[in-house]
Amino acid sequence: MRIMFDQVLDPERCYRAAQSRDARFDGWFYTAVRTTGIYCRPSCPAVTPKRTNVEFFRSAAAAQQRGFRACKRCRPDASPGSPEWDARGDLVARAMRLIADGVVDREGVAGLSSRLGYSVRHLNRLLTEELGAGPLALARAQRAQTARVLIETTELTMTDIAYAAGFGSVRQFNDTVREVYAAAPNVLRLGAERHRPAGESGTVTVRLPVRRPFGGPELMAFLAARAVPGVEHWDGERYRRSLRLPHGHGTVALQVADDHVGATFRLADWRDLAPAVGRIRQLLDLDADPLSVSAVLSLDPAMAPLVASAPGRRAAGSVDPHETLVRAIVGQQVSVAGARTVLGRIAEAIDERLAIPDPDLGVLFPSMEQLAVALPDALPMPAARAATVRRVATLVAAGELALDPGIDRRSVVDRLVAIPGIGPWTARYVVMRGLGDPDIFLETDLVVRHALAALGLTAAAADEWRPWRTYAMHHLWALGAPAPSRRLRS
């Protein structure tokens, strides 16, 4: 399925993929047609143009920089993201994860470069060489996509949308939308009015695309079992949670379907829409490449039945790596239910009330600043473990421990295990779920050890599951869990 060699597109393989109209390739590359000036996703239903009339780009931003406009039929700006940015750990992938989180909009290219530890010039050169566009162009493409979602799904004024999407001025917003979509913002809104989903005032519902197969029910069951009271809520059909975002509070309600996830956001500040969407995509592992994962794991005769019974199983991620770190520390040598109860009590004791009224979600998960100064009564756990929580929270609050989408995953485990009270299991769990590493295996995990024994395997078998050992972990964890409901929205 891979269509790149040494990070360079192979035009002939790209063209064959476009001829097949196979949606599995959406997000891996974009097809641009010189004769029409349009760029499309590979699965576009339009007639495939002649080979001599097309060229291929690694990113939508690169196609836009060359003067191509987004296809109005296949909506390439709404295709799943490339799985490479989750799987890879190199500088370009780290930069892409930070750009998706809105760092360029908030801190500029200089802020992005500073987080990555490289010069602006070097970062520009690397991104342009591999993706055909620099960080400003990549961020601009994301702003255009966010603007279109707000134009078509909300009643916000165009001025509010311009600033919510991250544009510096209304004129810049108008010019970019016209250039990318070949239509003025008001034209896009008129065209979408008939199809706008009904929703509460102050909400926006986004259809998050996924690669199929998609194990949505299994994913919801995993999150529901770990839902922290007051912070998260599961009613059997929808998973909801509160969000701490760069500009304020937010909530999201998620409902899975066979080929997408419906996400309804309520945000205190609309500028947080793009980072909120990015964090939910990471939480649900929506940019995974399930066929590549299944192809590797199914080679093991013991693992193949598990893969077949749960096609498209996702590796649940996180909306905040710091939250994952606290969850991992609290969960050491404690059952899932026990950790959930303790975390709920901590959130209730810290009691940062959600600024957006919600009948089932009352508080935010505590911040590291709050945990660093929490009183002993607010951390109902053994004293040594409470001290570890305060210790890591203090390091994060002081800027001495960084956990963000752009961090070098290989260095995080060493940094964490050097902190008293954190062992290898905890550190690697944080990298797996908090930072989305697809190739972590927790061989000392008790549930995993029991699952391996039940399959007649030893931990050495995991070497054959690279580079997708995280997904193998989720299959093994699920062995002892009850089967989830398969109800899906159409």
List active site positions. 40, 445
Number of H helices, E strands in the chain: 22, 11
Token pair belonging to 131 = 């993706």
* Amino acid letter, residue 354: L
One pLDDT digit (tens) per residue for the chain, 490 residues: 444 434 568 899 899 989 988 887 888 899 999 999 999 999 999 999 999 999 999 999 999 999 999 998 898 887 888 888 888 888 999 999 999 899 999 999 999 999 999 999 999 999 999 999 999 999 999 999 989 988 987 888 999 899 989 998 999 999 999 999 989 999 999 876 655 555 565 788 888 989 999 999 999 999 999 999 999 999 999 999 999 999 999 999 999 998 899 999 999 998 899 899 999 999 999 999 999 999 999 999 999 999 999 999 999 999 999 999 999 999 998 999 999 999 999 999 999 999 998 999 999 999 999 999 999 999 999 999 999 999 999 999 999 999 998 899 889 999 999 999 999 999 999 999 999 999 999 999 999 999 999 999 999 999 999 999 999 999 999 987 655 654 444 3
Helix axes 336-350, 321-330, angle to 10 degrees: 120
Q: Parse the chain into domains and list their residue ranges.
A: 4-76, 85-195
| Distance separating the N- and C-terminal Cα atoms of the chain | 27
C-alpha to C-alpha distance for 75 and 186, rounded to whole angstroms? 18
CA atoms of 220 and 284, how far apart (whole Å):
9
Kindly report the number of other CB atoms within 10 A of residue 5's CB atom.
Answer: 9
In this structure, CATH architecture of domain 85-195? Orthogonal Bundle (1.10)
CATH number, domain 4-76: 3.40.10.10
The Cα 171–Cα 168 span in angstroms is: 9
Task: Find out whether 346 and 370 touch, Cβ atoms under 8 Å.
Answer: no
Query: Rg of the chain's alpha carbons, rounded to an integer?
Result: 22
Q: What is the pTM of this model?
A: 0.90
C-alpha distances out from residue 323 to 259, 367, 371, 482, Å: 29, 8, 11, 26
Pairing of strands 69-70, 38-40: parallel
Please tell me whether the peptide bond between 275 and the residue prior to it is cis, using omega within 30 degrees of 0. no
